[in-house]
Structure 1
Amino acid sequence: MYVLVYTMHDREAILLEILRVGARGQVLKSDNASELIAAAVELPSAHEPYFVSGISQMLL
């Protein structure tokens, strides 16, 4: 099972908590709807975490 979090929160502390509890991806509500669709389609097939670019920058 893959958990994708759809949220308005983009703070680093929340992102770390999302990762800690096992979510495999996060899409922000402020992102384009195509990001949500892409995440829902790609997450199960890619077998890799899915984070929008702004969130990915925080992880680096």
Structure 2
Amino acid sequence: MEAECAWDAEDGIMLVWRNGTTLSKVGPYNGHLTNKNAYGGETLRDVVYKVRNTEYMTRIVELVSR
């Protein structure tokens, strides 16, 4: 999903879901489906929302059935 947003009028916002169920990327609209692809880093493989301070980085957590 892509949309306009007030805080980033130039780029807008993009939300991507994997298989329609897992939010896998939130960020500016840049045409990339993952942050790994957008920024070229293997360390970003599971990053949903990329920020400078890694303490606040949002990552995908895979749930395991019991």
- TM-score interval (norm. to shorter): under 0.3
**Greater relative contact order: 1 or 2 (C-alpha under 8 angstroms, separation 6 or more)?**
1
User: TM-score by structure 1 length?
Assistant: 0.26
More helix by share: 1
Structure (1 or 2) with the larger CA radius of gyration: 2
More strand by share: 2
User: TM-score by structure 2 length?
Assistant: 0.25
